[in-house]
Structure formats: C-alpha cells, structure tokens
Amino acid sequence: MKIRQATLETCSEATGTVIAIDVIRAFTTAAFAFAAGVRDIVLVGEVEEALALRQRMPGSLVMGEVSGLRPEGFDYGNSPSALVGLDLSGRRLIQRTSAGTQGVVRSRRAEALLASSFVCASATASYLKHQSPEFVTFVVTGVFPGADGDEDFACADYLAALLRDESPNVAPYLQRVRDSSEGHFFDESPPRSPLSDLECCLSVNCFDFAMVVERRNGLLVMQAMHQT
C-alpha cells in the first residue's frame, strides 16, 4: 500500500482511495453525530446547497460552519461536544464546513472515499487494511493561510503508522494537535472553541467505525461502517 498526502489545493488530482482528514473539527463532529444515532450524513461544499437539500429531504438537519461560526438557518454548528447526549436516531444530517467537507467534495477523481479523525483512526486503518488498496491519499484539509494544519498531518502520520502495522505511541501525535495553530485557538477563543470540543478531538479510537462516503444520485453520502 503506497501512501501519499494532499491538501485542499491538490486533492482534485488524487485517485485511488482518498481519506479526507479534519481533526478540528468536522470529522470529529461527524463521528459524534453517528454516535448519537445519525443514519447518514450528506457532505456538501456550500451553505446554500445544504439549506436547499434540507428542503428536499424532510426530517433532515443541517450542521457545520463558515469561518468557525454556525451559519444562519443551520440546526447545529461544528461542535462535537454539543452532540454528546443527544438522541438523533435515524436522522439524516447535511454537513458543510470550510475544510473537512471541502476535502471530500474536491476529491472528484477518487475511486473510494472516507473521512477520518483521531476518534475513529484505528477503525479507519482496519477498514483500509481489509480493502487493501494500492494507493491511499490522505487529504490534510486544515492548511490555510495562518493555519499550519498540523493537527491533520498528525492524524495522517498516525494512520500511516497503523497501516504499517506499527503500534505507535499516540501521545506525541496528540501533542501536535494541541500545539497546532488550531489547537492554540481553543486557549484564545473559548466561547467559539470550547475546551470540551478539543477534548473530543483528542479522544483517540473511542469509536469502532470507519466513515465511508459513497456517491449516490449526485450526492456524497457518508455512513458509519462498524468493524466486525
């Protein structure tokens, strides 16, 4: 299995199996949504698209952010801790974020698509080993002007170690999350970025499912695939 890395700027060229990584916070939030009972999550690139899909899909809910803030009309923001304790059994979510969902939407040439973060890293690695693709590309979505994306690079490096059948000490990887530009933001802006969200993002392998994305009738639909 050959492992590559890409960013939002280059993921449109990625082929084979592509895993979009967003630790802080889109794909941590998505995993907590699945843990709350969500049936599936439709991933989109634009706010207007998300709101229009909700109108077409009775009973669906919209979550996500623009520049870290919940857009007007969205049911939920991009906070994993806000979903803890909720019962969303059987509901469909529509998710739009500035980084994570963009990585999936832009990976148009991918033959297989997943999303991941630390909370489901081991399950993601197990799923990939079972599928045994020739090429795997990790899309590090958190690289922006002023944002180093090292929280996502750390997760990609951790996943790569798991795929090499290593038993990595996760502590250094998690320290990179705390030390990343996005990790420091939790200290600087706690109302917008509560520490409870950071703790969720640092909860390694707390879920036993991989988040697999399928193309269905023009939509990108993500489901939790539990390990058996």
Q: Residue 186 pLDDT more than 90?
A: no
pLDDT class of 189 with cuts at 50, 70, 90: low
User: Whole domain around residue 205: which residue ranges?
Assistant: 2-226
19 contacts 138 by C-beta, under 8 angstroms: yes
- Give the bridge partners for 6, in sequence order: 139
pLDDT (0 to 100) of residue 29 = 98
Summarize pLDDT for 24-58 with one digit per residue, the tens: 999 999 999 999 999 999 999 999 999 999 999 99
Sort 100 into a burial class: Cβ within 10 Å, 0-12 / 13-18 / 19+: buried
pLDDT class of 8 with cuts at 50, 70, 90: very high
pLDDT (0 to 100) of residue 190 = 67
The CATH number assigned to the domain holding 197 equals 3.90.1560.10
DSSP 69: B
Answer with the residue of higher pLDDT: 81 or 185: 81
Segments in the chain forming alpha helices (H): 26-35, 47-56, 100-106, 121-131, 150-163, 171-179, 181-188, 195-201
Summarize pLDDT for 59-101 with one digit per residue, the tens: 999 999 999 999 999 999 999 999 999 999 999 999 999 999 9
Summarize pLDDT for 93-135 with one digit per residue, the tens: 999 999 999 999 999 999 999 999 999 999 999 999 999 999 9
**Residue 156: strand, helix, or coil:** helix
pLDDT (0 to 100) of residue 227 = 73
169 contacts 38 by C-beta, under 8 angstroms: no
pLDDT (0 to 100) of residue 228 = 63
What is the pTM assigned to this prediction? 0.97
The tally of domains found in the chain comes to 1
